[in-house]
């Protein structure tokens, strides 16, 4: 009896010196009541239970002791001792054998209540709570009743002793979350033990980053021209890793068909000058693991785009000593390519880019990897959470040239060539998708499938080029006044009306443009004056849409349709009917002038006679 009382005294003394900062775990209960609180805006979908490990009689007064120790009804004591004997080296204790008594176990547990034993206490709770160890009896435990009014779970009338408070929720549903602090021992020194779990629900925020906009560089929506490079940032934080010895952390990112990944992913953690850059492992999940993360990228598909998976390697070891909440930032760029969705008027589709984060979310369950070759990806049945998809969009637009006869708008004119230049122009292509080379003197630039351009001709069936490029060596992406190397530069683009006088220049962003007629068809006059117009937009994050505007408005119909008239006969100075009117006005003036001249000359001749 003396030994039991002395053990209980050690046990209780150890418990009473624990700090209140601990949250959930093994508990000595003074009055049989345990409350787990949850934040009003936090996760409340839990199934908390209290499992009795060791119980007894708690004395009153200042020096409380726990006597008459006995094993709790919720555990298999034989399995507990067996596992503790095998794990005592990891727990920093020694001397336990298969024949150890409840007093022997209580002494070791009391030793783990010292302030410098935080990690050992976490491991102890995890050992007891691990279903693979068969310590907790099936169907046992006292459920904590949920009280939404007071934002808490509570269990009353518990026998004094040590308890493991465990969340029995098996969170396999997408987005489900478990407190990351389930596995710690807590102090009990009053009638009610109150536990305040520190929830750690990882989040992922994706933005388009525009460094030129110093006032508001981070956006959900933006506009661009085909050939423009868009910068993306994915922002998350280091989660609370308490209770874990392994943690999965994987970012999935999907670029739609209009975006080409530029393979320039950079990952950092921290802020400002204290940030640290992680190293990319080019070997991926297999081979020597020398970096901090690897990327799996699907082949670009003209329907589905590109899927990117960023897998953090040995996340727990890398970040266990980093403060929870420390920013983690992934940055990369993509090029708006020739398959971009083109919007006119109000566009809600755009060119989306969607990301999510998959993460470990239950420290009570062994984090089992997918297989030996992919130790940093979760295996089947390993519970993980997933953040909601976060989508950003890039919008681009076009103009439609409608070439008609000035006298009869029903007569459309095919074969008229136009040149388009402008400040919002990068790699604009016409409706056929390609510029047809007119002569050997024209500079040739080829569109690549990754959205950039080259002056190197494609080989036979070269997959670096779109099929339409290498189908005919006479077809080129566009002509330019400067040699292109690296990032695309502002260029001129040409096109020829066809299929009823139509010509579409697509992939335009905000800017001022000039449209020049460079060649017309037989019997029609070339326009002398270029057509100037501008494109603007407004973005609505609430609806995820972009509304394009084209000016001068009187020149456009049906949003982006620009009708241009051509007349037969004399050279006309401008577009539309004004050129014809001007022709007749000038002709009339000349006719009147000629008549006046003849009459005057005749009169002068009569006077001279």
- 13: helix, coil or strand? helix
pTM of the model: 0.66
- Say if 363 falls within a structural domain: yes
Task: Establish how many alpha carbons lie within 13 A of residue 33's alpha carbon, considering only the half-sphere containing its beta carbon.
Answer: 9
From 394, 429, 457, give the residue that closes a domain: 394
Regarding whether 61 and 172 lie in a shared domain, the answer is yes
What burial class does residue 11 get, using C-beta atoms within 10 Å of its C-beta: 0-12 exposed, 13-18 middle, 19+ buried? buried
CA distance 336 to 394: 8
- pLDDT at position 459 is 58
> Given a cut of 50, is residue 479 above it in pLDDT?
no
Does residue 200 belong to any structural domain of this protein? no
Q: Are residues 167 and 284 in the same domain?
A: no
Peptide bond into 436 cis (omega under 30): no
Question: Which CATH number covers residue 431?
Answer: 2.60.40.10
Q: What is the pLDDT of residues 245-296, one digit of tens each?
A: 899 999 999 999 999 898 999 999 998 888 999 999 987 776 666 889 999 9
Query: Where residue 271 sits, what CATH number does that domain have?
Result: 2.60.40.740
| CA dist., res. 282 & res. 61, Å (int) | 65
3-state secondary structure of 110: helix
What pLDDT, in 10s, does the model give residues 293-318?
999 999 888 888 999 999 999 999 99
Q: What value, to the nearest 5°, has the Cα angle with vertex 80 and ends 124 and 190?
A: 55
Task: Quickly count: other Cβ atoms within 10 Å of residue 73's Cβ.
Answer: 13
Look up residue 44 and give its two tokens. Answer: 């409340």
59 with 100, same domain: the answer is: yes
Looking at the structure, tell me whether residues 330 and 281 fall in a common domain.
Answer: yes
My answer on whether 490 and 547 are in the same domain is yes
Q: How far apart are CA 601 and CA 596, in angstroms?
A: 8
Residue 421 covered by a domain: yes
The answer as to whether 67 is a domain residue is: yes
Q: Are residues 358 and 256 in the same domain?
A: yes
Range(s) of the domain holding residue 604? 578-609
Indicate if 276 and 367 belong to the same structural domain: yes
Same-domain check for residues 134 and 13:
yes
Structural domain ending residue among the three candidates 334, 366, 394 = 394
In a domain, 310, yes or no: yes
Same-domain status, 304 and 270: yes
Residue 113 domain-assigned? yes
Full DSSP string of 333-402: EEEE-TTPPP--SEES--EEEEEEEEEE--TTS---BS-SS-TTSBPTT--EEEPPPEEEEEE-EEEEEE
pLDDT reading at 547 higher than 90: yes
Query: Considering its fold, how many domains does the chain have in total?
Result: 4
174 in a domain, yes or no?
A: yes
Domain boundary among 144, 176, 195: 195
Tell me what pLDDT residue 129 has. 81
DSSP annotation string for 118-164: HHHHHHHHHHHH-GGGT-BPTT-SEEPEEETTTTEEEE-SPPSEEEE
Candidates 174, 537, 506, 222; CA nearest to 352 is 222
pLDDT above 60: residue 89: yes
| Same domain (yes/no): 405, 435 | yes
Residue 603 lies inside a defined structural domain of this protein? yes
The reported pLDDT for the residue numbered 594 is 56
In 3D space, the residue among 2, 60, 11, 17 whose CA is nearest the CA of residue 161 turns out to be 11
Both 379 and 348 in a single domain? yes
Q: Write down the pLDDT at residue 321.
A: 92
Tens digit of each residue's pLDDT (9 = 90 or more) over 441-461:
444 555 555 544 555 565 555
pLDDT in tens, 194-208: 777 665 578 899 999
What is the dihedral sign for C-alpha 116, 119, 120, 124?
positive
Is the domain of 25 the same as that of 168?
yes
Give the whole-angstrom CA distance, residue 214 versus residue 198: 36
- Quick one: what percent of the chain has pLDDT higher than 90? 31
């Amino acid at each position: 009896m003396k030994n039991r009382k002395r053990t209980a005294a050690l046990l209780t003394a150890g418990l009473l010196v624990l700090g209140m900062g601990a949250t959930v775990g093994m508990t000595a209960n003074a009055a049989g009541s345990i409350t787990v609180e949850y934040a009003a805006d936090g996760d409340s979908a839990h199934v908390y239970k209290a499992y009795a490990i060791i119980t007894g009689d708690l004395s009153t007064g200042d020096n409380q002791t726990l006597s008459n120790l006995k094993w709790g009804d919720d555990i298999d004591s034989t399995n507990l001792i067996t596992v503790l004997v095998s794990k005592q080296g990891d727990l920093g204790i020694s001397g336990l054998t298969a024949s150890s008594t409840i007093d022997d176990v209580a002494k070791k547990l009391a030793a783990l209540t010292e302030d410098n034993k935080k990690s050992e206490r976490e491991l102890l709770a995890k050992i007891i709570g691990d279903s693979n160890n068969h310590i907790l009896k099936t169907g046992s435990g006292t459920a904590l009743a949920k009280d939404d009014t007071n934002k808490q779970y509570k269990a009353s009338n518990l026998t004094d002793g040590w308890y493991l408070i465990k969340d029995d929720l098996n969170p396999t549903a997408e987005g489900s979350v478990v407190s990351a602090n389930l596995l710690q021992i807590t102090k009990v020194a009053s009638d009610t033990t109150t536990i305040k779990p520190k929830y750690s629900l990882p989040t992922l925020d994706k933005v388009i980053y525009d460094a030129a906009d110093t006032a508001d560089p981070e956006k959900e929506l933006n506009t661009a021209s085909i050939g423009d490079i868009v910068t993306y940032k994915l922002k998350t934080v280091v989660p609370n890793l308490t209770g874990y010895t392994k943690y999965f952390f994987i970012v999935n990112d999907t670029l739609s068909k209009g975006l080409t990944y530029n393979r320039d992913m950079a990952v950092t953690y921290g802020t400002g000058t204290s940030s640290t850059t992680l190293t990319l492992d080019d070997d991926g999940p297999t081979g020597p693991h020398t970096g901090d993360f690897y990327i799996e990228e699907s082949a670009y598909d003209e329907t589905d785009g590109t899927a990117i998976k960023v897998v953090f390697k040995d996340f727990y070891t890398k970040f266990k000593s980093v403060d929870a909440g420390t920013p983690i930032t992934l940055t990369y760029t993509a090029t708006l390519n020739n398959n971009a969705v083109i919007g006119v008027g109000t566009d809600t589709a755009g060119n989306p880019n969607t990301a999510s984060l998959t993460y470990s979310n239950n420290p009570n369950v062994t984090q089992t990897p997918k297989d030996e070759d992919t130790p940093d990806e979760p295996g089947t049945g390993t519970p993980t959470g997933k953040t909601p998809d976060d989508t950003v969009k890039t919008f681009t637009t076009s103009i439609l040239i409608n070439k008609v006869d000035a006298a009869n708008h029903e007569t459309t004119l095919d074969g008229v060539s136009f040149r388009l230049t402008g400040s919002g122009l990068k790699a604009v292509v016409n409706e056929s998708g390609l510029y047809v080379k007119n002569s050997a003197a024209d500079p040739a630039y080829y569109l690549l499938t990754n959205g950039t351009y080259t002056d190197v001709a494609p080989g036979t069936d070269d997959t670096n080029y779109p099929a339409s490029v290498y189908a005919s060596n006479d077809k080129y992406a566009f002509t330019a006044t400067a040699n292109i190397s690296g990032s695309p530069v502002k260029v001129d683009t040409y096109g020829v009306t066809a299929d009823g006088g139509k010509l579409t220049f697509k992939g335009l962003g905000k800017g001022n443009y000039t449209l020049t007629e460079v060649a017309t068809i037989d019997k029609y006059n070339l326009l002398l004056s270029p057509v100037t117009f501008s494109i603007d937009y407004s973005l609505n994050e609430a609806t995820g849409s972009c509304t394009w505007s084209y000016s001068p408005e009187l020149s456009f119909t049906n949003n982006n349709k620009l009708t241009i008239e051509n007349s037969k006969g004399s050279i006309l100075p401008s577009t539309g009917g004004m050129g014809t009117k001007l022709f007749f006005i000038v002709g009339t003036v000349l006719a009147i002038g000629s008549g006046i001249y003849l009459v005057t000359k005749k009169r002068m001749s009569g006077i001279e006679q």
